[in-house]
Amino acid sequence: MKCVEKANLKQYNTYKINTMARFMYEPENVEELKDLLKSLRDKNIKYYILGGGSNVILPDENFDGAIIKLALKDLEIKDDIAFVGAGYNLNSFIKKTIDEGYTNLASLYGIPGTVGGAIRGNAGANGSEIFDDLVSVLVLQDNDVKLINAHNIKHSYRHTSFKENNDIIFGGVFKLEKGDTKKAWEIINENLEKRKNSQPLEYPSAGSVFKNPEGLSAGKLIDECGLKGYKVGGAQISKKHANFIINLDNATSSDIISLIEIVKEKVKKEKGIDLELEQEIVKW
């Protein structure tokens, strides 16, 4: 298993926060993961699971522990069912299913990160979410391997019960449906174009900062408070999309968190609405 000491995490989080971890491990299968967890527990070393780092605000302080980046990248597609490892890049997985003639995951194409991260947060786009096609999830729960039926996993808009427990997701089983693959790529390209035109993809960010309150757009509320372009240190509320904070110039985690607090306060004062974070402020 790959292990790096004094790992620089800047390239492993999409905000490009410059922080370090004492160790970074990349287990390639469940046995390696179990052995690693046991050895870390025996040595009293804390750990944090990182997927693609596209939904997290990592702390500025270095982590005196171990980052576990799951390199579980198995993929099997057979009889309208796919099994995919949690470390698989979500877009690469969707592309593979389309290559095999299946199109039901196409609307999720464009979401950065891994399959594991997407399942944990019930990632979604274009009116679909990952739980729509999820059959079951393989997890490591208190060191036991369990296959949980997706119907038995509490989930809602950008939320699942995995956010409330310590389960480590190591794979997902998806149902697949055949469709017109040429049409699917046309729709994907249109969706990617829409993202490019509406989101500040030219800067580091972690996607939408806040969830949309029911029936409302968080971006619109922030824009109406006059906050587009507002800066703290190297972090800025995007001028292109007010629900994105971008790393304009060597932003720190505390720059981003200060901006978040300012937005929450202003939207509460002017609109009477409590915005809820979609991104995760990580505490080591």
Q: Which residues contact ligand FAD by CB under 6 A? A: 14, 49-56, 70, 86, 111-114, 116-118, 120-121, 123-125, 158, 168-169, 199, 201, 205-207, 280
Of the two residues 139 and 176, which places its CB atom closer to ligand FAD in the complex? 139
How near is the Cβ of 92 to ligand FAD at its closest, in Å? 12
Of the two residues 180 and 249, which places its CB atom closer to ligand FAD in the complex? 249
User: Catalytic residue among 107, 136, 205, 208, which?
Assistant: 208
How near is the Cβ of 251 to ligand FAD at its closest, in Å? 14
Both tokens assigned to 236 = 């800025």
Determine whether 129 is an active site residue. no
How near is the Cβ of 206 to ligand FAD at its closest, in Å? 5
User: Catalytic residue among 107, 158, 238, 253, which?
Assistant: 158
Determine whether 120 is an active site residue. no
How near is the Cβ of 79 to ligand FAD at its closest, in Å? 25
Of the two residues 79 and 164, which places its CB atom closer to ligand FAD in the complex? 164
How near is the Cβ of 245 to ligand FAD at its closest, in Å? 11
Determine whether 158 is an active site residue. yes
Of the two residues 10 and 266, which places its CB atom closer to ligand FAD in the complex? 10
Of the two residues 211 and 266, which places its CB atom closer to ligand FAD in the complex? 211
Q: Catalytic positions, please?
A: 158, 208, 278
